[in-house]
Structure 1
Amino acid sequence: MEDLSGSTRMHKVSMTNRRSCVIGGVNDVLSFDIHEILLETEQGMLMIKGDELHVSRLTLEKGEVDIDGRIDSLTYSDAGGAARKNESLLARLFR
């Protein structure tokens, strides 16, 4: 059986023509709408911005997310350092 506890998942991003994206190593989907998706990954917080974004497949047991739409940007922020300072999620994003 596969060990899903801890940070044993490899984080991987695969994008095709800025229209579809497969992301592995996802721990949680924190929020999403048609313009922005916020993911907690093995490598920190990942914010995906674009237009007509849609989470077409979500499998948190495997840590995988498929996203369709026009992808304009992928932005990482380090969640580890902020969590030690007891900052809120919004404070970490808007530093």
Structure 2
Amino acid sequence: MGTADEHPQNRGAHKVSMTNRRSGSITGVSDVISFDIAEVLLETELGMLQIKGADLHVNRLSLEKGEIDLEGRIDSIQYSEISDFKKGGESLLNRLFR
């Protein structure tokens, strides 16, 4: 019998919904690693999610429900493996700009 790590479809629901690159809702969020007006970095059920843009604001955050709503100009959305961000001995910036 497989584990949730072997079968990502068995994990909690993860959904990204974007409207006109100005607002978005994301489910399946397990943690907010960092956020500012230019970048939001989230840990989701399916990996790290990096959102870049301008004037980004978190309007609603519920880690209990795993949901976040944000608005601002959204320029890019990028996924990566969680393990890429949890390597010891390196700063977060070094890992982001590899």
TM-score range, shorter chain: 0.7 to 0.9
Alignment partners' CA distance in 1, 2:82 and 2:63: 19
Q: Does 1:60 align with 2:86?
A: no
Structure 2 gap segments, 5+ residues each: 1-9
Q: Is the 8 A contact 1:79 1:92 kept in 2?
A: no
Q: How far 1:86 sits from its partner (Å)?
A: 4.7
Structure 1 gap segments, 5+ residues each: 1-6
Structure 1 residue ranges (4+ consecutive) displaced by more than 4 angstroms after TM superposition: 85-89
Aligned residues between the structures = 88
Aligned to 2:26: 23
Aligned to 1:73: 76
TM alignment of 1:32-47, pairs within 5 A: 32-47=35-50
Alpha carbons of structure 1 residues 72 and 66: separation in structure 2 relative to 1, 3 Å: same
Which AA in structure 2 matches 1:18?
R
Q: How far 1:93 sits from its partner (Å)?
A: 2.8
Moved more, 85-94 or 14-23: 85-94
